[in-house]
Amino acid sequence: MLVNPTLGYRLDPGEPGLAYSAPASRSILRVLSQEVSNLVAFKKEAMREGGYVVYSNISLDLRKRGSFLAAVAGRTQVLVYKPVERIIEEDTRREIEDKINQLRAQLMRETNPLIKERLEEDIRRLEIALTVLKSGLKIPELLLGVLLDTLV
C-alpha cells in the first residue's frame, strides 16, 4: 500500500515565494522549483549591481516520507563576483609614461648590451602596464606598485 503524505513547507524570512504544501511524491519538484527561483533572483540581483554569479549550488535534503523519498528542505548557495569600479587617475598614467621616457633616454645613452637588454625589458613591462591601465582592465594596485618599485 502506497502512503503519500502531504508535506508543509516554510520559506526563510525575506525569501520570496509561496509556502504551499505538496504531496511527498511531488516534493522534490516543489522544493527544486523554489530553489531555482532563488537562484534566478540571485543572478538578477548580481546583474543589477554590476556583478555576476561565478558559482552556484542547489542542494536538497531528502528523507523518506511515507512510501517516497521526499525533499524536506532546500538550500541555494551562490558566489557573486562584483568587479571593483575604480577610476584610474591621470597621475598614475603620467608617472608610468614619464618612467618609460626616462628609460628610453637611458637606453639611448647606454653602450653595454646587457644593460640595454634589461632596459628594453623594463620598457616593455611598463608599456604593458600602461596598456592595461588605458584599456580599463582592472589590475591589483599592489601589482602595479611592485612593477614600478622593481624598475626604480
> What is the spatial distance between Cα 27 and Cα 25, in angstroms, rounded to a whole number?
6
Cβ distance 7 to 21 under 8 Å?
yes
- pTM here is 0.55
Q: What pLDDT, in 10s, does the model give residues 64-104?
A: 999 999 999 999 999 888 776 555 556 777 888 888 899 89
Cβ distance 127 to 103 under 8 Å?
no
Q: What pLDDT, in 10s, does the model give residues 15-59?
A: 877 788 999 999 999 999 999 989 988 888 888 877 778 889 999
Alpha carbon of 84 to those of 30, 51, 91, 113: distances in Å? 37, 9, 20, 42
